[in-house]
Structures are given as C-alpha cells and as structure tokens.
Structure 1
Amino acid sequence: MAALTFGFLMDPLETVRVDHDSTFALMLEAQRRGHQVRYFEQPWLRFGGSCAEARMRTVTVRREPGRHFELLDEQVRPLSSLDVLFLRKDPPVDADFLQATQLVELCNGREPVFLNNPTGIRDANEKLFGLRFPELMPETLITRDLTAIAQFVSRHPQGTILKPVEGFGGQGIVFLQPGDRNTRSLLEIITLGGKKAIVVQAYLPESRQGDKRIILVDGEPCGAVLRVPAHDDHRGNMAAGGTPVKTSLTPRELEICARLKPSLQERGLYLVGIDVIGDWLTEVNVTSPTGLAEIDKLDNTNVEAKVIDTAERLVGQRR
C-alpha cells in the first residue's frame, strides 16, 4: 500500500515507556511500513470553522529510552489531512475526553479512519459495557446506595470488589469482606458520601492466579497476557505492580470473545482489550488498551502488525 499518514491522539510522547507503551508500539509499526507518523495531545485539538484541527507533531520514533522520538515538523493541520487516527488518550473518560471524541468527528465527511470509532468509545464504558452480557459477568451491582452496597458485601463471604466506574490502571479498587470495621467509612469515601455510583462485584478467588488481558483486533483474539498480582495486593494490573506471564486461551475465553465480536464490530471498536478472571469477563477496555508489548515479548509475535493491517484495510475499503 502507498504511504499513509497516521495520527495519534495520545498523552505526551515525552512520558511514554518505550518497552511497555502500546501506542508507541503502534507508532513504530506504522513507521516501519513507511507511513508518516503524527501525534497530538488532547488540549491541542480544536474546531477551526470547517473541520476539526490540531497542532500536530510529525515525528520519527525509535525504541531508545530518553531518545525515543525526533521532531520533524510541528504545525496546525486539519484532521482531514490524516488517513488514520488512533484515539489513544488514556482514561479517565471525563467530560474533556468526551468532548474530544465529538470534535474529531467534525470534518464534513472528510474525517480519517478512526481506531476506535468515537461513537463506539462513548457507547462502551469500560466498566459497564460488559453488563450487556450478564451471562458472561460475575454478579455485579452498580449503585451509589450505601445500604445496598453493604448488603451485597454481607452476602459474599469470599469478598467483594469495589471500583470506580471511571477508574483505570487498578486505581481505587478495594477488596472488602463481611464484618470489616472499615466498611462504612470506605463506602462513604469511594461513593463520595453516596453521591457517586460505583461498581460492586463478587470477588473471584481465581484472581490470585491472575487476570487475563486478551487483545481483540476487529473482534478476533490476537494474543493474551496473564497479569499476576503481587503477594500483598489484589490487583493484577501491570500499572499496579502485576507481573506479566505467558498464557493461552481457554475454550471459555474463546466463547467470550465470540460473544463480544458482533457488538464490537458494529460499533467500530477495532482494538479492544478485555479482562477475564477464571471464567468471567470483568472489563471491556476500548480507549487505550495496553498489553501489546508484553504479549509480543512473551509470545514472540507482533500484535501491532495486525492492528496496522486492519487500519490499512479500512483505508483501502474507503478509497
């Protein structure tokens, strides 16, 4: 395919970890194929009267910590100058992020191919989207009602997981067991005194063996990594200190992927990371799913190549 222009809406490039960051892996693969790579941050995005535009930086990238990119050019450009735009701003999905997903669509039919589709991102809250498939999820309650939460905790002797609806990277996740004298205070803190709904989920003992991040590209599983929590923590997230371990997919996990595929494709969610503990789906990550670098290293594969393949195919179909 002829050279394309790939854009990345992302967090500051200066801060990425070149051995871990999935967005950086995608940039490297696009560049390896001869495509031009540009990036911009969310505050640099604006609407210019006829098309959304941004102050974009054209860069070359390399896997050298501290010297991982070189700036070639920086100027305001319309989003229509991009063939592909990866929306890879890390959560939380707050008001600013939602506004950005609306701005990028304002190109009068000349918008780039999106990975992922902005409408799909808005539609698929990472903690709530899986609830469309209750048969795949552990018992879950979404509420700000302190009494209802306390009753849920009391009914689950093995424990309960509490987490913010907009949380990410393992932040704010709490494990509670019945009879814990901190229960009332913790519930008041995490719900802001009953003003903010949270996710209340039955604890899955299998989480001690790790939770599995599965990467789906256009609905198909393309690799997985088991994230094993530290001995003194209940969170497997690598951002929270979890250890990546080589793994494979079980028949149940393949079934979960197959059930999700039509809904993901319908919404233009081409790059998704789902989290599975034991036999249960716990999250569907669509904003900036991570794990590509770890899967590549453990399985000696190249997951990002499949993502760029998909982007090139979508551009070809549009043309």
Structure 2
Amino acid sequence: MAPLTFGFLMDPLEHVRVDHDSTFQMMLEAQKRGHTVRYFEQSWLRFSGTATEARMRTVTVRREAGRHFEVLDESVRSISSLDVLFMRKDPPVDAEFLHATQLVELCSGRPPVYINSPQGIRDANEKLYTLNFPELMPETCVSGEKSVLMDFIRRHPAGTILKPIDGFGGQGIVFCAQGDRNMRSMLEMLTNLGRQAIMAQAYVPQSRQGDKRIILVDGEPRGAVLRVPSDDDHRGNMAAGGKPVKTTLTEREKQICARLKPKLLERGLLVVGIDVLGDYLTEVNVTSPTGLAEINVLDQTCVETHVIQMAERLAAKR
C-alpha cells in the first residue's frame, strides 16, 4: 500500500526507554513498513480558528538508547494531515489530558484514524470502566465515605486492595488487612478526607503469583505477560518493580477477552491492555498500555505488527 503518515501524541521522545516503551515499538514498526512517523506532545496542540493543529516533528527512530531518534523536520501541521493518530500520552488523565482528547477531534478536513478513540478514552476510566463487567471482577466498592469503606474492609478477612481511581503504574495502591490500626489514617489520606472516591477490591490470593497483562488489538488477544511482584511488594506493575514472566492464556482469560471485545470496539478502543488477577478482571487500560516489548522478548513475536496492520487497514477504508 502507499505510505501513510502516522502521528503519535505522546510524552517527550527524549525520555523514551527503547527496550520498554510500547509506543516506541509501534513507531519502529510503522517506519519499518515505509510510513512517515511524526510525534508531538500534548502542550504542542493549538486551535487555529478553524481547526486544531500542532507543532509536529517528523522523525526517524532506531533502537539505540541515547541516540534513538533524529528530527528530520519540525513544523506546524493540522491534525487532518495525519492518516493515523495514536493517542499515547501517559496518565495521569487530568483536565489537560481531557482537553487534548477534545482538541484532536476538531479537524477541518478528513480526520485521521484514532487509536484509541478520543471519546472512548474519555469514557473509559481505567479503573471505573471495569464496573461495566461486575461478573468478571472481584467484589468491588467505590466510595469516598470512610464508614462505607471500613465496612467493606471488615467483610473481607483475606484483606482489601485500595486504589486511587486516577492512579497509574501501581502508584498509590495499598493492601489493607482486617484490624490494621492504620486503616482510618490510610482511608483519610487516600480519600483526601472523604472528598475523593477510591476503589476497594477484595484481595485475590493468587496475586502473589502475579497479574497478567493481556494486549488486545482490534478486540483480539495478541500477547500476554505475567507480572510477578517482588518479595517485598504486593504490586506486579513493572513500573513498581514487577518481573515479566512468560505466560499463556487460560480458558477463563479467553472468555474475559471475548466478553470485552464488542464493548471495546463499540467505543473505538482498538489497542487495550487488560489486567487479570487469578480469574478476575481488574483493569482495562486504554491510554498508553505497556507490555509489548516484554511480550516480544518472551514470546519471540512482534505484537506491534498487528497494531500497524490494523491501522493500515482502517486508513485504507477512510
């Protein structure tokens, strides 16, 4: 097919870890297939009076830490100049992030293929979206009220996991045991004295064996990695020190993927990382899910090939 122009809205390319960053893997694959690669940061967006544009850098990329990209051109271009736009800005999903998802939809010409859909990203909070599938989740409570949360904790003798709703990379996730004398203090801090709701989930004992990150492309599972927590932590997130381990999908996990597929596609959520703990779905990550590089190494595969082929196919239908 004719070369396309791929745009990546992402964090600074200078700070990318070439052996870990999933967005970088996609950029490499797009370049390998002969496409033009441009990237820009959230703060480079602007509205010109008729449509949104951004200061964009056309780059070549290579897997060489410290010398991993070269800028060929830098100029202001419209969002509609892109054939495909990857929305890969890392969390937190704050007001500026949400503003960016609104701006990129304002195109004067034909809009690009969005991966993922800006509307879908706005709708699918990575913690709360799982509440649409209660039959797949561990028992869960969302509240900012201390009394409600304490009652939930008391009803789960194996312990409770507490999560900030807008957290990412395992930040702020704590294990709370029944009778913990820090419980009230912990809840006050996490809820900002009751002003912010948090998520409480029944502890899943299998978490010591790790949680599984499954990458879905166009609704289909294309790879998975088991993230095993260190001995002194309860979190398996690789950003929190979890170790990536080779794995395969269980029948239960395949059923979870099949259950999610139509809902994800309905919202334009085409590259998604779901987290499964034991038999339970715990998160649906839609902003910039990681794990591609680790899956590629462990399984001797190339997950990003499926991503770029999907983008090519969708761009051809525009």
TM normalised by structure 2 equals: 0.99
Query: What corresponds to 2:242 in structure 1?
Result: 242
Structure 2 counterparts to residues 14-53 of structure 1, below 5 A: 14-53=14-53
Match of 2:184 in 1: 184
Alignment partner, residue 263 of structure 1: 263
* Code of the aligned partner of 2:297: K
- Unaligned runs of 5+ residues in structure 1 are none
Matches within 5 A, 1:209-228: 209-228=209-228
- 1: CA distance, partners of 2:265 / 2:175: 34
The one-letter amino acid paired with 1:129 is Y
Aligned counterparts of 1:269 and 1:151: Cα–Cα separation in 2: 35
Q: In the alignment, residue 293 of structure 2 is paired with which amino acid?
A: A
What is the aligned residue count? Answer: 318
Please give the per-residue CA displacement for 1:228-278, whole angstroms capped at 9, x wherever unaligned. 000000000000000000000000000000000000011111100000000
Taking the aligned partners of 1:275 and 1:108, their CA distance within structure 2 comes to 38
Alignment of 1:156-235 (within 5 A): 156-235=156-235
Q: Give the counterpart letter for 1:154 in structure 2.
A: R
Letter in 1 for 2:167: G
* Counterpart AA for 2:306: K
Tell me if 1:314 matches 2:314: yes
Render the CA deviation track for 1:136-169: whole Å, top value 9, x for unaligned: 0000001000011111111111110001000000
- 2-side partners of 1:108 and 1:16: how far apart? 32
TM-score, length basis structure 1: 0.99
Q: Secondary structure, in 3 states, of the residue corresponding to 1:71?
A: strand
Q: Aligned letter for 1:33?
A: R
SS in 2 for 1:74: strand
State, as a whole percentage, how many aligned pairs show the same letter. Answer: 74
Q: CA deviation at 1:216?
A: 0.2
After TM superposition, give the deviation of residue 108 of structure 1 in Å.
3.7
Q: CA offsets, 1:105-125, max 9 Å, x none?
A: 000452111000001111111
2:122 alignment counterpart: 122
* Cα separation, 1, equivalents of 2:288 and 2:83: 19
Q: How many Å apart are 1:43 and its aligned residue?
A: 0.3
Per-residue deviation at 1:50?
1.5
What are the within-5 Å matches in structure 2 for residues 265-284 of structure 1?
Answer: 265-284=265-284
Q: Which residue of 2 aligns with 1:60?
A: 60
SS at match of 1:66: coil
Q: Which residue of 1 aligns with 2:9?
A: 9
Letter in 2 for 1:171: Q
**SS in structure 1 opposite 2:317?**
helix
Alpha-carbon shift at residue 51 of structure 1 (Å): 1.5
- Change over 3 Å in CA distance of 1:75–1:108 after alignment to 2: closer
Counterpart in 1 of 2:298?
298
How far apart are the structure 2 equivalents of 1:192 and 1:234? 23
Output the amino acid matched with 2:88: R
Q: How far is 1:49 from its partner?
A: 1.3
CA distance in 1, matches of 2:300, 2:73: 34
State how far apart, in whole Å, the 1-side matches of 2:51 and 2:303 are: 33
Q: Which amino acid aligns with 2:60?
A: T
Structure 1 residue 87, shift from structure 2 partner: 0.2
Amino acid of the structure 2 residue aligned with 1:95: A
Task: Output the CA distance in 2 between the equivalents of 1:18 and 1:277.
Answer: 28
Please give the secondary structure, in 2, of the residue aligned with 1:171: coil
What's the counterpart of residue 72 of structure 1? 72
Whether contact under 8 Å (2:80, 2:108) holds in the other structure is: no
| 1:154 equivalenced with 2:154 (yes/no) | yes
Distance, in Å, in 2 between the alignment partners of 1:25 and 1:315 is 20
Alpha-carbon separation, structure 2, partners of 1:47 and 1:297: 41
| Partner Cα separation in structure 2 for residue 225 and residue 27 of structure 1 | 21
SS of the equivalent of 2:46 reads strand
Secondary structure, in 3 states, of the residue corresponding to 1:57? strand
SS state at 2:153 partner: helix
Q: Distance in 2 between matches of 1:18 and 1:41?
A: 18
AA matched with 2:66? G
